Amino acid sequence: MKTSDLPFSVSFKLRTTSPYSFALTVHKPAGWSLLTPYEVFEDDTLWTAARFSSGEMHGLKITSSGKVNDASVICELFSQERPNTNETERLRQIVAWMLSAQENIRPFYALAERDSLVKALVHDLFGMRRTKRLDIFPQLILAVTLQMAPIERSDQMMTLLIEQYGEKVTFDGKEIMYWPSPEKIAKVSVTELKERCKLGYRAPFLKGIAEDVRMEFPTFRELEAMSAESAKARLMELKGIGDYSADIASPHPGFALDVWSARIFNLLLFGKEPKSPRALIPRLKKIAEKRWGEWRGYVFTYVLNDIPNLARRFKLNLEEL
């Protein structure tokens, strides 16, 4: 595994719009990581890694000051070269965008006044934000490995991919492993991906995606600048990326329902388990769009991170799904 030491660092402070819960945003209750499964969260501080432009790796040490209604994020960014003033400002803006520090989520919270589910979610996870990432490839790996597999199996595939082909950065006394680059996966044979990462039929999909992404493919920010429909259509041009995976990888707020989450939403909305959850997915997506509009992505993220509380509050067996 390639290892990079990151001796230089710059620090900056980010102001946030209220409410902003740093801990809930960077360390989600359901266990989803901000940027890599190998990041470290201790004493309200996160050490993680990121691949920004040109494939360059950075280390991030992030913490916060203030309360949910008046929070600032304090970031120390580590790199191999000392960044100049312009580069520091560019990186500062990327981190602020990534952490949704300036996003106005008041309209989402306003939904709580007339929607009992949103009211419960806002109460339980006050100030939590959806986050973004600059490099699209890890998001596509996530989408592909989530297909047709229980979460333990998906974890196995993702862990093997990072351990076999990922990169490691060392900074501030920490070692953080990060996702492989598309350039790296494009060079690996399908047979090797199958054998070493247990990807099965997903191996040719992932190799093809890596080849496409490293050649000519929009960046995450370019996809964000497109309309939601155009971005999704572009993602679905990648072989192995269908409707569900495109919703996961797209920067636009989608409603990435799979069989498991369809069962959860059907229980939450109608109080019963669906007989055929897969067939119900298109209908549930339409309901979500009508009921929560552009905030349906937030509802999705909040629900998946609030299952124990929702199960207790609405007396549903959500945790057994």
Partner DNA sequence: GCGTCCAGGTCTACC
Partner DNA sequence: GGTAGACCTGGACGC
Q: Please choose, out of 69-77, 101-109, 191-199, 309-317, the segment that lies near DNA by the rule CB under 7 A.
A: 191-199
Instruction: Tell me the C-alpha distance between 42 and 124, whole Å.
Output: 22
Find the shortest distance in angstroms from Cβ 178 to DNA. 21
- By CB under 7 A, name the one of 36, 139, 245, 301 that touches DNA: 245
User: Mask: binding to DNA, 250-279, rule CB under 7 A, as x and -?
Assistant: --------xxxx----------------x-
Residue 319 in contact with DNA, rule: CB under 7 A = no
Residue 317: burial class (beta carbons within 10 Å; 0-12, 13-18, 19+): exposed
Q: Between 100 and 250, whose beta carbon lies closer to DNA?
A: 250
Binding to DNA in span 41-80, by CB under 7 A: none
152 contributes a contact to DNA by CB under 7 A: yes
Spatial contact of 99 and 14, defined as CB atoms under 8 Å apart: yes
Q: How far is residue 296's CA from residue 317's CA, in Å, rounded to a whole number?
A: 23
Size of the site for DNA (CB under 7 A): 34
Q: Which two tokens stand for residue 219?
A: 């960046």
| Residue 234 in the binding site for DNA (CB under 7 A) | no
**C-alpha 78: how far from its chain's center?**
22
Q: Is 201 in the site for DNA (CB under 7 A)?
A: yes
Closest listed residue to residue 199, CA positions, set 244, 161, 237: 161
Question: Residue 214 interacts with DNA (CB under 7 A)?
Answer: no
Does residue 150 bind DNA (CB under 7 A)? yes
What is the residue-wise DSSP string for 95-128? Answer: HHHHTTTT---HHHHHGGGT-HHHHHHHHHTTT-
Among 74, 126, 243, 252, binds DNA (CB under 7 A): 243
Pick the piece of the chain touching DNA (CB under 7 A) from 43-51, 69-77, 94-102, 197-205.
197-205
Strands 2-5 and 167-171: parallel
Dihedral sign from CA coordinates of 298, 28, 243, 167: positive
Binding range to DNA, per CB under 7 A, among 108-116, 167-175, 233-241, 283-291: 233-241
Footprint on this chain of DNA (rule: CB under 7 A):
143, 146-154, 156, 194-195, 198-202, 205, 236, 238-246, 258-261, 278
